[in-house]
Amino acid sequence: MIAKSSYSDQELIAFLKADQAFAFNEIYDRYWKTLFGISYNRLKDIQAAEDVVHDVLLSIWNNRDRLEIINLKAYLATATKYMILRKLRKEQHQMSYLQDLKGVPEAESASLEDRLHYKNILLMLEEEIDCLPEKCKLVFKYSRTENLSIKEIADKLEISSSTVENHLNKALGRLRLVLKHANTTLFSFFL
């Protein structure tokens, strides 16, 4: 039998499509260090770089039946760069969201009544989100907390983009009603 390390990238892709786990392990061993270098050079964080590489390689395994790769090394390098950009965008979105929260009445100058009102509205919104149908709730959370695009959500949930938009509109409509009922526009930035 031929040693695993002597397989070409194209052979490994073919084995991967045939659900051969050894091919994934070989790809992992062959490219992990290179992908980690790309990721670490951009992120300057060992754990974040490792997470990106693991996510890229896991994506290869999860999508093995649909892979159409001509140059595996180039594909993995490009996928790593996109995953880094996605991670940076997500972090930027979270920072922006946290900065937006600084302006709400949680500040020291806010009265006790304002802070209680704020917490009650937050609880009402969380309860309404929990009451959403499962797919609708997932779409909303992916959109608002993970900052995924409509297309990314559609791909992740294996539904059409228009279905994602419908779920998102339904969720936002229900949350707007909660805010209207609470007689406030405090969280309009959230929607």
The domains of the chain, with CATH numbers, are 4-95 (1.10.1740.10), 109-181 (1.10.10.10)
Both tokens of 39, joined, read 């990721």
Separation CA 41–CA 52 (nearest Å): 12
Residue ranges, the chain, pLDDT below 70: 1-5, 93-94, 96-112, 114-115, 117, 182-191
Cβ atoms of residues 37 and 31 within 8 Å: no
Both tokens of 81, joined, read 């760069």
Separation CA 166–CA 140 (nearest Å): 11
HSE-CB at 58 with a 13 A cutoff on CA atoms is 7
Contacts of 146 (CB under 8 A, 6+ apart): 90
Neighbours of 42 (CB within 10 A): 17
Separation CA 75–CA 16 (nearest Å): 15
**Residue ranges of E strands in 93-182:** none
pTM: 0.50
pLDDT at 92: 77
pLDDT at 190: 47
Separation CA 60–CA 50 (nearest Å): 15
pLDDT digits (tens, 9 = 90+) for 151-164: 989 998 999 989 99
Query: In terms of Cα–Cα distance, which of 35, 182, 51 is closest to 118?
Result: 182
Cβ atoms of residues 129 and 172 within 8 Å: no
CA distances from 6 to 3, 12, 26 (A): 6, 10, 10
pLDDT at 111: 67
Separation CA 136–CA 39 (nearest Å): 34
